[in-house]
Amino acid sequence: MGHPAPSPGPGVGALVCTVQTPLDVATQHGVVLSRDSQHINKMVYRMPLEDLKKTFREESASVISGAVYLSPPLTETLLGLHTIPPLDRCTYYGMDSGVPSLQVSLYFDLLLPLCSDVSHEEYVNGQCGATYAQAANYSPLFQQESRSARLQIWKQLQGFNAFVYPLGGEVKHHYLGMNLPYKDSLLSLLPSSSILYNERCEADSGNTVIVNTVLEGNITTCGEKAYIFDSWIGRDVSLSLVGPSVLNGLWLMDCAASLKIPGGCVWQQYTLAQCNVVTCHGWTDHLALHHEEPTATIFNTSWSVFLSRTRIQREDLWENSCKVQDLLSAKIFLPGLPIAEQISIFSALIRAACSDSQQEDWKSKLVKWRASSRMSLAEAIFNCDVKKVIQTQEMIFLESFKQYLIKTADDLGGMSLIPLFQYFVKRGLAPVNQVLHTLHTLLHVPRLSTSRLFSNVADLLGCLAQGKGGLRSGPAGNPLWRSALVELKKGHQMEAVQQMLDVCEDWISSGQPENLIRAARHYERASQIVISQQVETADVHVSPMWVSPEVRHSVGVGVWVEAHSPARLDLAGGWTDTPPICYEQGGAVLNIAIKVNKKKPIGARARFIPELQVVCVLRDCSGGDMRLTWSKLDHLRDYDNPVSPGALVKAVLLYSRLVDLSHPDSLASQLKDKYGGGVEVEVWSNLPQGSGLGGSSLLAGTLLAALVVLLGHPPPAPSHLVHATLCVEQWLTTGGGWQDQVGGLIGGAKLGFSHRGTPLSVTTYQIPLSLPCLEALNGQLLLIYTGKVRLARNLLQTVIRNWYACDHTLTKCFSELRFLAMQAAGTMLDGNLRGLGSCISNYWRLKKMVASGCEPGMVTKLMVSLEDHCHGMSLAGAGGGGYLYALKTSQECLEGLTCDHVEVDQQGLEVWVGGEKVLERSQVEETLTRAKLNTLIQECK
Q: What is the pLDDT of residues 661-693, one digit of tens each?
A: 999 999 999 999 999 999 999 999 999 888 999
Q: Does residue 185 have a pLDDT over 70? A: no
User: Do 209 and 228 touch, CB atoms closer than 8 A?
Assistant: yes
Inter-axis angle of helices 303-310 and 339-354, nearest 10: 110
Q: Does residue 194 have a pLDDT over 70? A: no
Q: Does residue 206 have a pLDDT over 90? A: no
More confident of the two residues 824 and 852: 824
Task: State which H helix or E strand residue 902 sits in.
Answer: strand 902-904
Q: Does residue 281 have a pLDDT over 90? A: yes
pLDDT, tens digit (0-9, with 9 covering 90-100), for 54-75: 888 888 899 998 899 999 999 9
Q: Does residue 830 have a pLDDT over 90? A: yes
More confident of the two residues 461 and 89: 461
pLDDT, tens digit (0-9, with 9 covering 90-100), for 542-578: 988 888 888 888 899 999 999 999 999 999 999 999 9
User: Do 208 and 292 touch, CB atoms closer than 8 A?
Assistant: no
pLDDT score of 872: 95
Residue 205 — very low, low, confident or very high, per pLDDT cuts 50/70/90? low
Least confident residue range of 201-215, 554-568, 883-897: 201-215
- Residue 2 neighbours by CB under 8 Å, 6+ apart: 166, 167, 168, 169, 171
Mean pLDDT of 774-790: 89
Query: How far is the C-alpha of 747 from the C-alpha of 761, rounded, in Å?
Result: 20
User: Do 125 and 147 touch, CB atoms closer than 8 A?
Assistant: yes
Residue 202 — very low, low, confident or very high, per pLDDT cuts 50/70/90? very low
User: Do 39 and 163 touch, CB atoms closer than 8 A?
Assistant: yes
Count Cβ atoms within 10 A of the Cβ of residue 471 and give its class: 0-12 exposed, 13-18 middle, 19 or more buried. exposed
**Of 292, 324, 312, 323, residue with least CA distance to 374:** 312
Q: Does residue 87 have a pLDDT over 90? A: no
- Average pLDDT score, the chain: 90
Domains and CATH numbers, the chain: 12-166 (no CATH), 182-388 (no CATH), 415-536 (no CATH), 543-572+592-741 (3.30.230.10)
pLDDT > 70: percent of the chain: 93
Q: Does residue 417 have a pLDDT over 90? A: yes
Mean pLDDT of 476-483: 95
pLDDT score of 142: 46
pLDDT score of 11: 60
Residue 143 — very low, low, confident or very high, per pLDDT cuts 50/70/90? low
Bond prior to 86 in cis (omega within 30° of 0)? yes
Q: Does residue 331 have a pLDDT over 60? A: yes
DSSP 207: T
Least confident residue range of 156-165, 509-518, 759-768: 156-165
pLDDT > 90: percent of the chain: 69
Q: Does residue 791 have a pLDDT over 60? A: no
Q: Does residue 895 have a pLDDT over 80? A: no
> How far is residue 837 CA from its own chain's centroid?
31
pLDDT score of 923: 74
Integer CA distances (angstroms), 188 to 6, 180, 181, 185, 244, in order: 31, 13, 12, 7, 13
Max CA pair span of the chain: 115
Query: How far is the C-alpha of 485 from the C-alpha of 640, rounded, in Å?
Result: 14
Q: Does residue 197 have a pLDDT over 70? A: no
pLDDT score of 449: 94
pLDDT score of 545: 86
Strands 567-572 and 297-298: unpaired
pLDDT score of 870: 93
Least confident residue range of 120-129, 359-368, 484-493, 525-534: 120-129
pLDDT score of 891: 81
Residue 588 — very low, low, confident or very high, per pLDDT cuts 50/70/90? very high
